[in-house]
Structure 1
Amino acid sequence: MPPVWDPAEAPVGDVGAALLMVDARIKEIHEPEDESEDGAEAERGELNRLFVASAGAEGVQELLDGTCTLLYMFMQWLRRTHEHGDKDVIEYVVPPLVATLRMMPRSVRPQTVPTMVALVVAAGTQVSPNGWRSQYGDWTPEEMNALEATVFLVAEHINRIAGDHNFAVRMIAETLTRVETDGD
């Protein structure tokens, strides 16, 4: 396996920021604020634009790498969980993911779905998703939206398995805390 595809060699990125992004989306779905709030989607879009502008290219790359690391971590949990039940993670994760992504054509462009599926398959087969993706050049804005949706959907898949809307985020947050504690 080329070094960049090896998860141990791949850049980790800003997993904390990626986790906050996923957590915010999960809370949006499960703990909606005032439903009558007009312009909330436009406001989120503007906040995302401001974040990207303030983070600069390096910050955006750190977020993308962190998001791919988060996807890898989620898929490793799913792989172990499915293998424990003698099931194939790809068989149980990819079809519902594709079906859901295809139902979101405004947020996830159809041409990005194969890339998202490949990222999930890479992560599920213990290949670095950001390392795999790096062979195709720079990320496109459409892929960034699709990546956010993909990681959110994989987290929601974990939450459904666990029967807890906060399980996926809590699992990663606890892992990050342990890593920080062990590193001190």
Structure 2
Amino acid sequence: MSSPCDPRHAPVGDVGAALMMIDSQLKKIRGGTTALDPAQQALIDQFAASLSPEGVDDVLDGVCTLIYVFMKWLRAAYEAHDKDVIEHVVPHLVATLRKMPKSVRPETVPTMAGLVVAAGLGLSPSLWRRSYGPWTPHEMNSLEATAVLIAEHIDSLTDDPDFATRLITDALSKADEG
């Protein structure tokens, strides 16, 4: 029996825009700053202002797609070492999100953990979240932080600061070719 959260039924969303947001946050973290290059920030602000409500939904779905792909890669990497991805990713994610009370409201942490668990089990995080109602404004920073933390986890595991971003850009390139 197929799950209502089967990724085959999930919208992919705007993965390119989602990746741009996540990659810019990763660059800020690695640069040891909280500010982006002014030109890059202006571009992101202009893009965000141009989004329609449907465009916002597409970016949200894109971020969920990133989380799904990242967790799929992590699941394979951990299973190759006879380890459980949920056991190794979720506790670190929750602990880190809890240390970010200015950006991540405490009540959103269980939802973000649920998204990651859903993805770790091979379910669509986007469809899983929709089963509990619409996104709330408080979840936006938490969702972005979750995707950034998972990407940073991948980059740390591979000892390559661009691995997670390249994982997605390579997949997008292959999709364009196919």
Q: TM-score, normalised by structure 2?
A: 0.91
2:116 aligned with 1:112: no
Does the Cα contact within 8 Å between 1:4 and 1:128 map onto a contact in 2? no
State the match for 2:6 in structure 1. Answer: 6
Corresponding residue pairs, total: 176
Pair 48,137 (structure 1): closer, same or farther in 2 beyond 3 Å: farther
SS at match of 1:5: coil
Q: TM-score, normalised by structure 1?
A: 0.88
Following superposition, the deviation at residue 31 of structure 1 comes to 3.0
State the match for 1:143 in structure 2. Answer: 139
Q: 1:163 aligns with which of 155, 159, 162?
A: 159
Q: 5+ residue gaps in structure 2?
A: none
Q: How does 1:6-155 map to 2 (within 5 A)?
A: 6-32=6-32, 40=35, 51-155=47-151
Does the Cα contact within 8 Å between 1:74 and 1:154 map onto a contact in 2? yes
Pair 116,47 (structure 1): closer, same or farther in 2 beyond 3 Å: farther
Q: 5+ residue gaps in structure 1?
A: none
User: Aligned partners of 1:52 and 1:4: how far apart in 2?
Assistant: 31
- Residue type at the aligned position of 2:19: L
Note the aligned Cα RMSD (angstroms).
Answer: 2.2
- Residue type at the aligned position of 2:156: R
User: Aligned partners of 1:12 and 1:81: how far apart in 2?
Assistant: 23
Following superposition, the deviation at residue 46 of structure 1 comes to 8.8
Which consecutive aligned stretches of 4+ in structure 1 deviate over 3 angstroms post-superposition?
A: 1-4, 43-53
Pair 45,138 (structure 1): closer, same or farther in 2 beyond 3 Å: farther
Taking only the aligned residue pairs, the percentage that are identical comes to: 55
